[in-house]
Amino acid sequence: MPANVHDTMGIVPVLRQLAGCGFQGPAIGDLGYRGERLAKAAEALGITVRPVVRGRDGVFIPTEIAWVVERSFSWISRYQRLNTIVERTKEHLVAFVEIAFISILSRRLQRLTPQEISA
């Protein structure tokens, strides 16, 4: 998606891609993802879009599954190569994100005790 396309306009192609991959369940987003146009497009694809409030009084509070997404973005932000997107193709970017998560998960696995591994 080009950088000059607002999220609320670019979400429909993303929903199409998710539906093509067999995505099931609600797509959760902030309150910017409300509206009849988006609801109709999502419904046609068999996806429900559920906007959620993510804070009060200007304080960000991740809710539901959103905290997993925020935490994941925080983890990969530690990888300097991923802080500025310089890749020429989305496939290269996806590969570097996968490498970052493999690195993160392998370090977490190294810290596990034998009892935690066998559980």
| Tens digits of residue pLDDT in 91-106 | 998 999 999 999 999 9
- Given this model, what pLDDT does residue 119 score? 65
- Given this model, what pLDDT does residue 1 score? 66
Q: Are 27 and 48 in contact (CB under 8 A)?
A: yes
Q: Is the pLDDT of residue 26 over 70?
A: yes
Residue indicated by tokens 């509070």: 61
Question: Does 1 share its domain with 38?
Answer: yes
Question: Does 46 share its domain with 27?
Answer: yes
CA distance 14 to 44: 14
What residues have CB less than 8 Å from 65, skipping those under 6 apart?
Answer: 28
Question: Predicted confidence band at 51 (pLDDT cuts at 50, 70, 90)?
Answer: confident
- Given this model, what pLDDT does residue 104 score? 92
Which domain does 6 fall in, by range? Answer: 1-52
Question: Does 107 share its domain with 77?
Answer: yes
Question: Does 63 share its domain with 48?
Answer: no
The total of structural domains in the chain comes to 2
Q: Label residue 87 exposed, middle or buried (CB < 10 Å: 0-12, 13-18, 19+).
A: middle
- Given this model, what pLDDT does residue 32 score? 77
